[in-house]
């Protein structure tokens, strides 16, 4: 008979998280979430954030149209609409120079090439903080008149790309903020509300059409933190 001396391996105890370890993890997660919330404060609420993202996509579209059609293209921001003043400083759209039947450019005959974007409720383009040269904080955004369809006719601010897709005002800023204003057809600038104080966002447009989003109000303009309820922007 064979004498088999078999040794059984002891069962290994499966280890898990102890209560103390779980509490430590929860505390760390709470600290990170709090720090993230503090870091994101002042960067614009939900409406401002979605407005910035949508506007950036229109800048990409304008550059693509300019390169694809080998013509100039512009991102237009409504300043004074003839027939729809309620959307002043809230409508953003892409336009390009029209092409003639023979394929040549009909210079300075601008036609819309995208569906208009309307910024979220109570979100407006800021004439005061949008600058031609953001770093220097100087220069007003150029303006143009758009004719044609009555629904789109009016005066607009514009950012332009040439046929090579180059932004002709590199370093220009696009800034929007949360506020309110009378809907009576006047051109009065929007005002800061208590809920929208410091609620601004936007980006800088570079030569190649890329954008750099602002991460805090102080990157937009000095003194923006000191805005008071009722101040115009």
Name the DSSP class of 137: T
User: pLDDT tier at 170 (50, 70, 90 boundaries)?
Assistant: very high
What percent of the chain shows pLDDT beyond 70? 79
pLDDT of residue 40: 40
* pLDDT single digits (tens) 86-127: 899 999 999 999 989 988 999 999 999 999 999 999 999 999
Between CA 29 and CA 33 the distance in angstroms is 6
Name the DSSP class of 167: B
pLDDT of residue 38: 39
Report whether 201 contacts 51 (CB < 8 A).
Answer: yes
Report whether 205 contacts 166 (CB < 8 A).
Answer: no
Between CA 39 and CA 97 the distance in angstroms is 42
Give which of 92, 84, 50, 79 is closest to 190, Cα–Cα: 79
* pLDDT single digits (tens) 15-65: 555 655 555 555 455 544 544 443 444 445 689 999 999 999 999 999 999
Domains of the chain: 44-226 (3.55.40.10)
Instruction: Write down the pTM of the prediction.
Output: 0.79
pLDDT of residue 37: 40
């Amino acid at each position: 008979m064979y004498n088999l001396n078999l040794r059984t391996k002891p069962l290994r105890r499966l280890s898990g998280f102890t209560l103390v370890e779980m509490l430590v993890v929860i505390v760390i997660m709470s600290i990170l979430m709090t720090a993230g919330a503090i870091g994101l404060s002042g960067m614009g609420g939900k409406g401002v954030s979605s407005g910035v993202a949508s506007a950036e996509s229109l800048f990409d579209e304008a550059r693509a149209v300019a390169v694809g059609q080998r013509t100039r293209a512009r991102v237009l921001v409504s300043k004074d609409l003839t027939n729809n003043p309620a959307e002043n400083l809230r409508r953003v759209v892409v336009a390009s120079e029209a092409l003639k039947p023979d394929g040549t450019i009909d210079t300075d005959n601008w036609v819309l090439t995208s569906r208009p974007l309307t910024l979220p409720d109570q979100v407006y383009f800021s004439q005061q903080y949008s600058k031609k040269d953001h770093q220097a904080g100087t220069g007003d955004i150029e303006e143009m008149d758009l004719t044609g369809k009555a629904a789109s006719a009016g005066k607009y601010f514009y950012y332009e790309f040439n046929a090579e897709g180059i932004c002709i005002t590199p370093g220009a800023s696009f800034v929007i903020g949360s506020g309110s204003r009378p809907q009576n057809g006047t051109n009065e600038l929007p005002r800061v509300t208590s809920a929208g104080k410091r609620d601004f966002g936007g980006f800088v447009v570079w030569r190649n059409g890329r954008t750099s989003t602002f991460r805090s109000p102080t990157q937009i303009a000095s003194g923006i933190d000191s805005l008071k309820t009722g101040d115009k922007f």
